[in-house]
Structure 1
Amino acid sequence: MALGGAMVDALERGHTRVQGFRDPEMDHQLMRQLGSVRYGGASIGECLAAAARIRDADPVSWIEEFAEAGRRQSEDAALRARNGHAVSARDQYLVACNSYRAAEYYCPVDDPRHREYGLASRQAFMSAMQWDEASCVELWFSHQGLRLPAYHIRGARGPANRILMIVSGFDGTLEESYIAYGRPALERGYDLLLFTGPGQMDAWRFDAASHFAPDFEVVGRQATDYALAQSGMDPRRVALMGISFGGYFASRIAAHEPRIGALIANSPIVDLHAYMSSFVGFDPASLPESDDFGVADLEHIPEAEMNAQTRVMARNLMLRFGRPTFGQTYRRILDFKLSADGLAAIRCPSLALVGEGEGAEPLRQWRVFQDAVGGLCTPRLFTALEGADAHCQAGNLSYSAAVAMDWLDETVGAP
């Protein structure tokens, strides 16, 4: 190249650019994926490379990219496993597991690919655990005839005398719970019991007749029975964590289960109807019949009124609550509420976590929870300065885990 001439093949640091999406929901899902990097659920470069090929607010392109990433990563993991590279195989399987979860998230739940990607995520996770020093046992609980999957995971040091039970929310999975909070809990010497209930993603993978139910204490009682039946378990050291919508589930369990020694609600949801209505800006439960719509109506709603991403989310909401219309779904959600007496019945120590960027309604419910529970409550507000202001602190999971696990150590005692 001549001096002063046009540069050809100029030196660059790389072609990947740090750029998200204009659409707030899809950008949050990208942050959710990026946040999992800390505990081995993704790589920054692959996430950003996928994002560059995904069309803004277009679920189809998101699904295609992350499903393909999952396939590529699984094949790479299998090759490393065949060559005896245990650590590399484990790590790649865990990344593949989370890529498939990302594809599962945006897939309509009545699309066969939803189950395919969900089971692929589960299989990749089990393959990862085969190469891990921790031991993982598949379990099943039940609710009204439904079989509900769970995992019991123990660290390399063997059985502990304390256990953290974790339940996720509307779209979280057992495997994602492990990545986000299970791994940091294992590092600190806790056994893990990851469990799910009717309507949740893991249950839906096995039974499309599984719909959300407010009486989550039915499953919580079985999980607590199992935890306390473990050899050497100290009954004062049984802790419970609820993530996202799981903040309601875990609080509901703690209100009915006096054997819970400590509760972490991230974030506390005491009124799911008010919480969900805040997302759409009105109360769909009051929709007149003439304005209500069902799953079959979604394809006829103009793009200007409801984009493809919102249609998928509305479809999944109706199907997973088992109601034929949007309005009836929100009327069902009215049942998912903790009364003042229910909150007062939570007498174990509790930690209430919320991000300052989550919005007015989540912050209001965080304050209601800490004022109404019967036991000592420690509130924690995460900030944008900490990079943790998003829902469930997706942007800084390690700091969220530090806050949660340090509080838990101080509450139930060191191992």
Structure 2
Amino acid sequence: MLSGTCGGNWSMEKENNTSEGRGGMSEVNTIPDLSQILSSEPHWTNTKYSKNMLMDALVKHLLGLMPYGMSDLGEVLEVVGHLKPGDEGRWINAWGAMAQRLQYRAEEAERADKQITASTSFLRASTYWRASLMNFSQPNDSRIGDYARASSKCYERYLELSGYPGQYVEIPYENSFLPGHFYRSPVAVDNAPLLIITPGRDTWAEDTRWVYDGAIRRGIHCLVYDGPGQGYALRLNNMTFRPDWENVVSPVIDFALTIPGIDPSRIGLMGLSFGGFLAPRAAAFEKRIKLLIADPGNISWGGSIISRLKPVSKLPRFLRPSFVDSMMKDYAWKHGVSVKEVFRILEEYDNTSVIDKITCETLVMDGTAEIIPGQAKKFFDALKCPKHYMLFDETTTSQSHCQMGGYTTATEYLFDWIDERL
């Protein structure tokens, strides 16, 4: 079941339907008790598309984008067949080839005035260009910039051809800008609420579609952005992560309030994955935020990573898992330090001293198959503000990290909760 704490109780209940059959005979149909069926192993999360944890998670994330037209089953599984655990070269080549194929198709369709075909192909091409860079830690490779620009180009063509209500924006930030998109809800009334979305460490702002699409369908405008260390901001603007995320979110809110039709008293901030750590840090200092959603939430993200990564990084090379070295390089790149400094910089990502400064109403989302079990609940327990806990278990099929693979269900529960508060 999906359980709630301090904010209501969510459950899936058994139903027995009795109906009259043909000829006046009574016919009883019993609906199986889903909670009993799904309470035992195996669960879908046991299916692995790679022995490499990150590669497996990213494939499941991409499959989860299918309901939004951002990927297709055959395309994703075709690429999976060409991957090898821990092989970043095969990863970028396989996803890049699929993206290029779809971009060519889209361009041919556009020349033939087949706008719908062009728009849908451009959308999936954009997804796969981004995917090719999600597991690639070679910052000096020219494909980093080339594929990022290709993804952006395809996504903008999709927006133009499809009419989806998204607009590219550049948010002023220090001496540069944060790239993002503003999605204006077509069903919003005057002075509607705004949800700002902070993505995670590996996926990009556009990949949070399950959130912003759910928002604009319900009359809530959305502003999504790549902050330092994320997406385009890292790969095209050379910005790396910083722990004082309030200095990122405040400029985003300043920009948002220049957009017509937004109610400044109804601003929500959601952070996903690593963003679920960064967003609470911002909310501790930025008091224009009415509602905070941490998915999943973590008090000391840096400490959690250090405790898991440091022991295996010290193993001899012949015993060390192959993904460790590439992960260390990836952390070094995204945080702007050398490999030797990774653990030192991660120590700065700790919200213990500021968590009691969070005063806005907060929702903590969690799953029974989260990557670091128990951390979201510890974060929830430490909060002193009005708070709510939403746990997705196996009966929801959204129990994985940030509900990947179960985005449609997560959208429904998330926005049923937001609707009453924002």
TM-score scaled by length of structure 1? 0.83
Matched letter for residue 148 of structure 2: G
Matched letter for residue 398 of structure 1: T
Worse-superposed segment, 54-63 or 71-80: 54-63
For 2:101 and 2:410, how far apart are their aligned partners in 1?
31
Matched letter for residue 147 of structure 1: F
1:173 is matched with which residue: 184, 194, 204?
204
For 1:83 and 1:159, how far apart are their aligned partners in 2?
38
For 2:72 and 2:51, how far apart are their aligned partners in 1?
22
- Structure-2 change in CA distance of 1:311 and 1:163 (3 Å): same
Deviations 1:135-176 (A, max 9, x none): 333322344434321221213457761111101121121221
- Structure-2 change in CA distance of 1:199 and 1:20 (3 Å): closer
The answer as to 2:406 corresponding to 1:393 is no
For 1:321 and 1:204, how far apart are their aligned partners in 2?
10
Structure 1 runs not aligned, ≥5 long: 1-17, 292-300
* TM superposition shift of 1:65: 1.1
- Structure-2 change in CA distance of 1:21 and 1:339 (3 Å): closer
Partner of 1:382: 392
Contact 1:235 1:261 in 2 (8 A): no
For 1:158 and 1:358, how far apart are their aligned partners in 2?
34
Contact 1:252 1:338 in 2 (8 A): yes
For 1:302 and 1:372, how far apart are their aligned partners in 2?
39
1:305 is matched with which residue: 299, 313, 320?
320
Q: Which has the higher contact order (CA 8 A, sep 6+)?
A: 2
Deviations 1:360-398 (A, max 9, x none): xx4433123222223221111112332222211111011
2:217 is matched with which residue: 187, 190, 211?
187
- Structure-2 change in CA distance of 1:343 and 1:71 (3 Å): same
* TM superposition shift of 1:49: 1.5
For 2:274 and 2:283, how far apart are their aligned partners in 1?
15
For 2:324 and 2:93, how far apart are their aligned partners in 1?
18
The answer as to 2:159 corresponding to 1:129 is yes
Greater strand share, structure number: 2
User: Residues 2-401 of structure 1: matches in 2 within 5 Å?
Assistant: 20-108=49-137, 109-157=139-187, 161-177=192-208, 179-208=209-238, 210-280=239-309, 282=311, 302=317, 304-307=319-322, 309-326=323-340, 328-340=341-353, 342-359=354-371, 362-401=372-411
* TM superposition shift of 1:206: 1.6
Aligned residues: 374
Matched letter for residue 203 of structure 1: A
SS in 2 for 1:338: coil
Contact 2:355 2:382 in 1 (8 A): yes
Indicate the RMSD between aligned Cα atoms, in angstroms: 2.3
Matched letter for residue 175 of structure 2: G
Contact 2:312 2:324 in 1 (8 A): no
Contact 2:197 2:223 in 1 (8 A): yes
For 1:237 and 1:134, how far apart are their aligned partners in 2?
24
- Structure-2 change in CA distance of 1:159 and 1:221 (3 Å): farther
For 1:176 and 1:282, how far apart are their aligned partners in 2?
32
* TM superposition shift of 1:35: 0.9
For 2:312 and 2:269, how far apart are their aligned partners in 1?
31
* TM superposition shift of 1:96: 0.9
For 2:312 and 2:121, how far apart are their aligned partners in 1?
43
For 2:308 and 2:399, how far apart are their aligned partners in 1?
17
Amino-acid identity (%): 25
Partner of 2:415: 405
Matched letter for residue 329 of structure 1: V
Structure 2 runs not aligned, ≥5 long: 1-46
Contact 2:99 2:126 in 1 (8 A): yes
For 1:303 and 1:187, how far apart are their aligned partners in 2?
52
For 1:116 and 1:159, how far apart are their aligned partners in 2?
40
SS in 2 for 1:411: coil
For 1:123 and 1:92, how far apart are their aligned partners in 2?
12
* TM superposition shift of 1:283: 9.1
TM-score scaled by length of structure 2? 0.82
Matched letter for residue 363 of structure 2: L
For 2:185 and 2:163, how far apart are their aligned partners in 1?
7
SS in 1 for 2:181: strand
* TM superposition shift of 1:304: 4.9
* TM superposition shift of 1:272: 1.6
Contact 1:264 1:404 in 2 (8 A): no
Matched letter for residue 84 of structure 1: D
- Structure-2 change in CA distance of 1:211 and 1:24 (3 Å): closer
For 1:263 and 1:27, how far apart are their aligned partners in 2?
29
- Structure-2 change in CA distance of 1:155 and 1:83 (3 Å): farther
